[in-house]
Chains A and B, each alone.
Chain A
Amino acid sequence: MSPRKGSQGRAKVVVEFEGVNKWFGDFHVLKDINLRVRERDRVVICGPSGSGKSTLIRCINRLEEHQEGRIVVDGHEIGNDPKSVAAVRREVGMVFQQFNLFPHLTVLENCMLGPTKVRGLSKAEARDRAMQYLARVRIPEQADKYPGQLSGGQQQRVAIARSLCMQPRIMLFDEPTSALDPEMIKEVLDVMADLAQSGMTMLVVTHEMGFARTVADEMVFMDEGSIVESAPPERFFTNPENDRSKLFLSQILSH
C-alpha cells in the first residue's frame, strides 16, 4: 500500500497483491488490486457491501481463486501449487462471519483438530495449547460444551481461539461481528484488540469504525472491486481524499 521506496528499514512484507484481478463469471469482483501488508500491520478493510472486501481477504488463503496478477503470502506465491497453498493455510488463520465452528466437536476438540492433524502435536500438547488460547479469549470454562450450546459471541471467540491454536503469523477476519447481537460485539472486539496489542499481523474486514479507528494502522477503502483509498486511520477518518470514501463515511458515521 505504501510506495516501494519506503520498504528499507521496515518490517518485511508478508502479504503482497500485485495487479490482482478476479471475475465471478462476467462480474469483475476485484479490479487491479495492489496491496502490501507488513509484519505486525493491522489493516482494516471497509467499504459498501458487494465491494469485494471479503473476496479480497479470501484470496489470501485461496478460499477464492484469482485469475490475474500475483499474490505472495509469507514468501509463497498463491497459485495452482497445492503445496504452497497448504503452507500458506498453516500460517494464516481465518475467522468467519458465521463462525463456522464444527458442530459435531466440542469446543476443545474444535481447537485441537488443526494442531493434532496438521501440526502433528500429541493430544496432550494440543489440549494444553487449546486451553491456553481458550483462556486468552476468556472462555476456558466452556471447553467441554458443543458450539450449539454457546452464544454467538462465545462461538466467535472460540473460532478465534481455534485459529490461534495453529499459531498463525497472519490472522484474517471476515466481518467477525456482523452476525452478532449488539451486546456480544464488544466481547469479540476486545479479544481482537488484545490480539492486535500482542503484535499479530491482522487483516480485518469490518464495519466497526470505532474499532478501526483505535486498532488499525492502515485503512483500506474499497468500492466496486477497487481499492479507492488507503490511508492511516486519522487521515482517513478526518480528511478522506476520495469523494466515494467521504460519502461512505458520512453514511456510516452519521448515526
Chain B
Amino acid sequence: MNLRYSWPPSAWGKALRERAGATAPQASEIARTGAPRVSVRTAATLGRSGRWWNAPWFDTIQFLVLCGALLGLIVSGAMSMGYSWQWYRVPQFVFRVVDGELIWGPLAAGLAVTLEITACSVVLALAIGLVTAFLRLSDSLAGRAVSRVYLEAVRNTPLLIQMYLFYFVLGPIIGLDRFWVGVSCLAVFEGAFACEVIRAGILSVPRGQGEAGDSIGLGRAQVYRHVILPQAVPLMLPPLTGLMVSLIKNSAIVSVIAVLDLTTAGRDIVAETFMSFEIWMTVAAIYLGITVPLSVFMSYVERRVRTCD
C-alpha cells in the first residue's frame, strides 16, 4: 500500500520554499530528519553541496525539460500515427451549458457514482477492519483464526477475481444489485488493510497505558474508549487516508461488472467517439483531482501527529 505522492514535486517544493524566504527548515522537519539538511547560508542560492547543478533553478529546469520531453514524445507519437486531437469535444462529456442551464455530462455522473461507491465502502471497510482487528487482538482462538483466514484470503487473491466471485457467486445468492456488489467487494478488500492499520495503531500504544487503565478499575471497553483509542486514532489517520485514496483508485474495477462509474463512463465514451487519448487522459486527471488533495491532506495530518508527541 504505497500511496505516498510527493506534491509539489521536490524540485518545486524546494524552489517555492526558498522563494517564500523560508530558508530555515521547519521544526517538524528537524524532528523528522534529525538535522537540517540544507545549510541556511547556501540554501538561498545553491543546493546542498554548493554546486550549480544542485541549485534550485537548475533543478527546476531539469524538471521542466523532463516534462517537456514526455509531452513531446506523446505529441510526436500521436502525430506519426496520424491521431487527430479533438480536445474541444471533451468538455461536453463533463458538463454543458444549454440556455444558461448547467447539464452534467456522463463523466460527471460517473464521478458521482465513483464517489458514492467510495464513501459507502470506506464506512463498511472501517467497520470490517475494526471488527477483524479486535478479533485478531482478542484472546479467542476462533476469533483470531477467522480474522487471519479472512486477511490471508483477501490479501493473496487478485481484486479482479474477488470482484467476479462477488458478482457471479455471492451476488445472486444474497440478491445484491451490482452497485452493492461493487461496494461490498471493495469494502471486504480494503477492510483487510483497514484491519492491519487499526491493529498496528492499537498495538503502538504502550502496554502500560492499558495496564494503568485496568488498575484504576476501568472495564475492557472503557480502557479502549478512554485510554487506548484516543491515543491510537491519531496514529491511524494518515494510513487510513491512504486507504481512502487506494479505494478511490480501486473503485475503477467496478467497471468490469458494468457499474456506471467514472471508468465505465470513460470506456463508453471512447467506444462511441474513438477519442481514446483525450478521454483516458481526462479520466486520469479527474482521479488525480480527487486523490492528490487527499494525499496532501494526509501528509498534513501526518505532520500534525508527529509534532504532537
Contacts and interface: CB of A to CB of B under 8 A. Distances in A.
B211 A113 contact: no
B10 interface: no
Interface in A58-77: 61-63
A26 to B, nearest CB: 21
B25 interface: no
B215 interface: yes
Interface in B39-54: none
Instruction: Please list the 8 inter-chain residue pairs (A to B) with the smallest Cβ-Cβ separation, ordered nearest first.
Output: A114-B216, A100-B212, A94-B215, A100-B208, A118-B217, A90-B217, A89-B217, A104-B230
Contacts of B230: 104
B209 A114 contact: no
B104 to A, nearest CB: 45
* Interface-centre pick from A62, A92, A102 (highest chain B CB count, 10 A): A102
12 contacts: A89-B215, A89-B217, A93-B215, A96-B212, A98-B206, A101-B212, A102-B209, A113-B227, A114-B217, A114-B218, A118-B216, A166-B217
Nearest to B212: A100
* Interface-centre pick from A61, A100, A166 (highest chain B CB count, 10 A): A100
Contact of A89 (B209, B214, B226, B227): B214
Contacts of A102: 209, 212-213, 226-227, 231
B219 interface: yes
Given A86-B219, A102-B209, A118-B216, 19 more contacts: A63-B211, A89-B217, A92-B215, A94-B215, A98-B206, A98-B208, A100-B208, A102-B212, A102-B226, A102-B231, A103-B231, A103-B309, A104-B231, A113-B216, A113-B226, A117-B218, A117-B222, A117-B226, A118-B218
A201 interface: no
A163 B216 contact: yes
Contacts of A117: 218, 222, 226
Nearest to B220: A82
A65 to B, nearest CB: 11
Given A113-B226, A117-B222, A117-B226, A86 B208 contact: no
Interface of A: 61-63, 86, 89-90, 92-94, 96, 98, 100-104, 113-114, 117-118, 159, 162-163, 166
Given A113-B226, A117-B222, A117-B226, A93 B216 contact: yes
Interface of B: 206, 208-209, 211-219, 222, 226-227, 230-231, 309
Contacts of A92: 215
Contacts of A163: 215-216
Given A100-B208, A102-B227, A117-B226, A63 B217 contact: no
Given A98-B208, A102-B209, A104-B230, A61 B222 contact: no
Contacts of A103: 231, 309
Contacts of A100: 206, 208-209, 211-212
Contacts of B222: 117-118
A66 B208 CA distance: 19
A92 B216 CA distance: 8
B208 A96 contact: yes
B216 A61 contact: no
Contacts of B213: 102
A98 B207 CA distance: 11
* Interface-centre pick from B216, B218, B219, B230 (highest chain A CB count, 10 A): B216
Contacts of B209: 100, 102
Contacts of A62: 214
A113 B218 contact: yes
A93 B212 CA distance: 10
B139 to A, nearest CB: 11
Given A113-B226, A117-B226, A162 B211 contact: no
A89 B216 contact: yes
A63 B218 contact: no
B218 A61 contact: no
B209 to A, nearest CB: 6
A162 B231 CA distance: 19
Contact of A63 (B215, B219, B226): B215
A163 B227 CA distance: 15
Nearest to A97: B208
A92 B215 CA distance: 7
A86 B217 contact: yes
A72 B199 CA distance: 35
Given A102-B209, A104-B231, A61 B226 contact: no
Contact of B216 (A63, A104, A162): A162
Contacts of B309: 103
Nearest to A101: B212
B31 to A, nearest CB: 15
Nearest to A119: B217
A163 B214 CA distance: 11
A90 B309 CA distance: 31
A159 B226 CA distance: 17
